[in-house]
């Protein structure tokens, strides 16, 4: 399944970039990433950057996370976070809007790993099953995560045991994810 995850992410990224090109006439744009260096930047405007995905140039592992918590991570999640450099991408899954978390640069990869460690530490303190977030939702209290035990994709309410399985695998989730269009 490790090979299918990067391919599914690549397919979604292509659909996302194509949607931007068709609707806006240029690569995906981000105001949030303006002024933050990245190999993804193809143009800088007054208040936004245009970006395209770039190959991941670091070792393809999340060893810092695994060492920090003495845990073995789902290979699909490792493959997801080490497949490419890209901006976060808006999409919908079963009609629910979300933002797929991506690694923007080599420096950002350190931040993402620190955030994953913090999330896993919180889960451990609460005696909850370990999960790894992959997307944010409109609610600050909900994230889309992968269950590290089963590999299922879930929507979980932070700080609680409330969760809902939405896909049997990360690959399935990415294949069903639809780019959020500019008109939406």
pLDDT digits (tens, 9 = 90+) for 112-155: 999 999 999 999 999 999 999 999 999 999 999 999 999 999 99
| Domain housing 43 | 4-178
- pTM (two decimals): 0.95
Tell me if 183 is assigned to some domain: no
CA distances from 134 to 114, 169, 172 (A): 14, 12, 14
Strand pairing partners for 89? Answer: 100
Tell me if 23 is assigned to some domain: yes
Domain total in the chain: 1
Where residue 1 falls among pLDDT bands split at 50, 70, 90? very low
CATH code of the domain covering residue 92: 3.40.1580.20
Tell me if 73 is assigned to some domain: yes
Tell me if 119 is assigned to some domain: yes
Tell me if 9 is assigned to some domain: yes
Tell me if 148 is assigned to some domain: yes
Query: CA nearest 88: which of 140, 38, 130, 45?
Result: 38
Model confidence pLDDT, tens digit, residues 46-102: 999 999 999 999 999 999 999 999 999 999 999 999 999 999 999 999 999 999 999
Tell me if 184 is assigned to some domain: no
Tell me if 72 is assigned to some domain: yes
């Amino acid at each position: 399944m490790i090979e299918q995850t990067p391919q599914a992410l690549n397919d979604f990224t292509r659909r996302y970039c194509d949607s931007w090109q068709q609707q806006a006439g240029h690569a995906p744009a981000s105001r949030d990433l303006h002024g933050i260096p990245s190999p993804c930047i193809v143009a800088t405007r007054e208040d936004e950057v245009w970006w395209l995905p770039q190959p991941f140039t670091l070792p393809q592992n999340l060893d810092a996370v695994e060492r920090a918590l003495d845990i073995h991570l789902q290979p699909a999640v490792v493959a997801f976070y080490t497949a490419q450099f890209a901006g976060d991408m808006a999409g919908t899954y079963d009609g629910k809007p979300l933002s797929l978390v991506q690694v923007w640069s080599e420096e950002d990869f350190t931040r993402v790993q620190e955030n994953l460690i913090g999330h896993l530490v919180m889960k451990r303190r609460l005696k909850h099953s370990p999960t790894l977030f992959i997307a944010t939702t409109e609610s600050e209290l909900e994230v889309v995560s992968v269950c590290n035990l089963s590999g299922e994709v879930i929507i979980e309410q932070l700080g609680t045991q409330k969760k809902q399985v939405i896909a049997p695998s990360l690959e399935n989730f990415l294949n069903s994810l639809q780019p959020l269009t500019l008109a939406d």
